[in-house]
Structure 1
Amino acid sequence: MNDTGVRAREVDVAVVGAGQAGLSSAYHLRRSGYEPERDFVVLDHAPRPGGAWQFRWPSLTFGKVHGMHELPGMELTDADPDRPSAEVVGEYFDAYERAFDLRVRRPVDVTAVREGSDGRLLVETDDGTWSARALINATGTWDRPFWPRYPGQETFRGRQLHTAQYPGPEEFAGRHVVVVGGGASGTQHLMEIAAYAAATTWVTRRPPVFREGPFTEEFGRAAVALVDERVRQGLPPRSVVSVTGLPLNDAIRQGLADGVLDRRPMFDRITPDGVEWADGQRVEADVILWATGFRAAIDHLAPLRLREPGGGIRVEGTRVVADPRIHLVGYGPSASTIGANRAGRAAVRDIRRLTATSAATV
């Protein structure tokens, strides 16, 4: 029972999140003989299918998406590259949920996961409590945009927004926009906005690394291994793209040739009218767009005290070292569409062994 005396609904597995990682995990649960609602439940706080994709800006068409990998068991066919990715992926995820009868419950906000009785976990939500023998956490990062703090930030008279709030380039017409961040989102925003803005300034903490040549399987494995090593040490994960660099495609080459991707080092302070460097250089700006990434959305796991001194959760594969009942899918090395597919399968394989062992001891 929970604190209100209401009996928790019992399942073997609770899946939190219904993006790529959550749906992949649910698919593999179904393939392993688990029945939705009876043996497992999928809880998603988003208003509709699509995971974080449903919140992407309209100008991110499907043809501009890099590395979107299909969900297991169902191809994504005949997608119009000129349609917004939010629509294409949202419809695909919706069809996928229906095809495999995954019965995602939404919108449901998971507020906390706590230790329950008899070795079970209590998953507390705004729609009641579930008692589970294992948990697959697939909450991604979209709900935790990272905002760096700089002196004078609160004095800026213009507009500040994060990638998570990016509306598309049209709203910046005639304005001077400072784009902060050297990842894929930052460069995409910058090149779009440049066509509308009066001026753009690009700043990053580190010089961007542009990678030529194909993204080979061997290169990908090496990049994932670097991210995996961090989570094995209990450090906060870095994104895979942070260790692969930016692909030097035609759009990037054009941005470099046009001077749009003329990077400046990170400013030291923000003024009411713009940004300023330590040597006295200034840039006046109307907008600061923070394309500074996201952090793992795992605050609901705080009652379990899984974080290591380094600030992250130590994970081997997908399994949390401190609590083998919990698997993080879409975290660290599996934070990609293909990585989430593989991680979902691995998590379910481990959970089958766990639940079989615990059932045998009852």
Structure 2
Amino acid sequence: MKKILDSIVIGGGQAGLAAGFHLRKNGLQFLILEANNQAIGSWPQYYDSLKLFSPSRFSSLPGMKFPGDSNHYPMRDEVILYLQDYTKHFQLPFMTNQQVVSIKKNGEEFTIHTLSGDTFQSSTIINATGSFHSPYKPEIKEQETFRGHVLHSSEYKNPERFMNQRIVVVGSGNSAVQIAIELAEVSTTTLAVRQNVQLIKQKFLGQDLHFWLKVTGLDTFPFWRFGKTIGTASAVIDLAQYKERIAEGRPNQQPMFTSFYKDGVIWPDGKKEPVDTVIFATGYRPSLAYLRDIGALDSERKPLQVAGVSTSVPGLYYVGLEGQRSFASATLRGVGSDARFVVRKLLPYLKT
């Protein structure tokens, strides 16, 4: 007979590791299931030049500081090494190549089935998968007629393959700006936006923006307690003279195009412009189909939850959802606080 664990954590990225830390701290029997071959989440799949918007001192998981200069802004590969070291340091129990495909609930117990054919049982589940594998691309008129290339920012790695092209990057958030700035060095690049990019200074009175967010409490302020829906901030932190580069037209901004045509895009004024590549930096959507059968999702396939606690399935919890409890919830600096909160909610449930 299979052992029934206290908890199964689905996802071995930053959210799953933070959950594992707090489960271990509370002496619970648990296992982290990771779909990939190592517990570092989706970081290896992000673009090569990705840089955190928060310095090292504000980018740590619980129990282990991010190494190096506390004022340094870590790059993607530094985060990967940190997550690898974190897993080894705390000896968190995890199994790789375990993609969850379905979950059943039998009374008070969950049964988790994975693509590899394995089955696991637990009293609770913490879903910590993120949404990188469910990129969102809006439907644009006549897109099927376009003969150029269309991709999502999740598929972008570096500017090498885009040299001397005409490129449109759709979006006005952090990833859109970082990618467009990089591409503008090697290609003619435009940001297609619904609203102009809103830039905020990286430092104020000599301190990083995240210092002020932390000391004022705004970064992790529990807006959910007041029935407020939290989204990601639309402003982009100006890491490297973004304001000056955009003002110089490297890249330029234009209102979102209204349609594709076979050779390019059609702008709101009706002008047709040939384009080689369109990159949608338009975010992600939750990909939680395996939770559907237990009634955990709403009609839009979003989790029914408040502050990471399922409102429809007792014993089900979340860490790493965008805006779950605060602006920082889906970030390295925010998942630790949310994981601690969720595990505290989980403990009384196990005793019932």
TM bracket (short chain): 0.7 to 0.9
Compute the displacement of 1:222 (Å): 4.9
Once structures 1 and 2 are overlaid, which stretch shifts more, 329-338 or 143-152?
Answer: 329-338
Which of the residues 175, 193, 213 maps onto 1:204?
193
Compute the displacement of 1:297 (Å): 2.5
Three-state SS of the structure 1 residue aligned to 2:315 is strand
Compute the displacement of 1:311 (Å): 5.5
Summarize the Cα distance change of 1:155–1:219 in structure 2 as closer, same or farther, 3 Å threshold. Answer: farther
Which of the residues 25, 28, 35 maps onto 1:31?
25
Compute the displacement of 1:341 (Å): 0.7
Counterpart residue number, 1:335: 330
Contact persistence 2:53–2:237 (CA under 8 A): no
Please state if 1:351 is matched with 2:340.
no
Summarize the Cα distance change of 1:253–1:221 in structure 2 as closer, same or farther, 3 Å threshold. Answer: same
Compute the displacement of 1:261 (Å): 4.1
* Unmatched runs of 5 consecutive residues or more in structure 2: 324-328
Counterpart residue number, 1:217: 213
Compute the displacement of 1:211 (Å): 2.5
Contact persistence 1:120–1:132 (CA under 8 A): yes
How far does the alpha carbon of each residue in 1:279-333 deviate from its partner, in whole angstroms, 9 at most, with x for none? 3112210001111111123222111222335663332222111123111110132
1:36-51 equivalent positions in 2, closer than 5 A: 39-51=29-41
Which of the residues 93, 99, 111 maps onto 1:109?
99
Contact persistence 1:306–1:313 (CA under 8 A): yes
Counterpart residue number, 2:176: 186
Q: Percent identity?
A: 27
Summarize the Cα distance change of 1:219–1:294 in structure 2 as closer, same or farther, 3 Å threshold. Answer: farther
Which amino acid is the alignment partner of residue 211 of structure 1?
I
Contact persistence 1:58–1:84 (CA under 8 A): no
How far does the alpha carbon of each residue in 1:141-178 deviate from its partner, in whole angstroms, 9 at most, with x for none? 11110011111111111111111110201211011011
Which amino acid is the alignment partner of residue 66 of structure 1?
F
Please state if 1:87 is matched with 2:77.
yes
Compute the displacement of 1:210 (Å): 2.0
* Unmatched runs of 5 consecutive residues or more in structure 1: 1-6, 358-362
Summarize the Cα distance change of 1:8–1:177 in structure 2 as closer, same or farther, 3 Å threshold. Answer: farther
Tell me the TM-score normalized by structure 2: 0.87
Which of the residues 8, 19, 28 maps onto 1:14?
8
Q: CA–CA distance in 2 between the matches of 1:218 and 1:81?
A: 15
Summarize the Cα distance change of 1:84–1:221 in structure 2 as closer, same or farther, 3 Å threshold. Answer: closer
Summarize the Cα distance change of 1:224–1:296 in structure 2 as closer, same or farther, 3 Å threshold. Answer: farther
Contact persistence 1:54–1:89 (CA under 8 A): no
Count of matched residue pairs: 336
Which amino acid is the alignment partner of residue 266 of structure 1?
M
How far does the alpha carbon of each residue in 1:37-84 deviate from its partner, in whole angstroms, 9 at most, with x for none? xx2110011222321112122233xxx321261111112213899999
Compute the displacement of 1:129 (Å): 1.3
Compute the displacement of 1:339 (Å): 1.7
1:94-133 equivalent positions in 2, closer than 5 A: 94-116=84-106, 118-127=107-116, 128-133=118-123
Summarize the Cα distance change of 1:18–1:203 in structure 2 as closer, same or farther, 3 Å threshold. Answer: same
Summarize the Cα distance change of 1:219–1:98 in structure 2 as closer, same or farther, 3 Å threshold. Answer: closer
Counterpart residue number, 1:167: 157
Q: CA–CA distance in 1 between the matches of 2:274 and 2:141?
A: 16
Higher helix residue share:
1
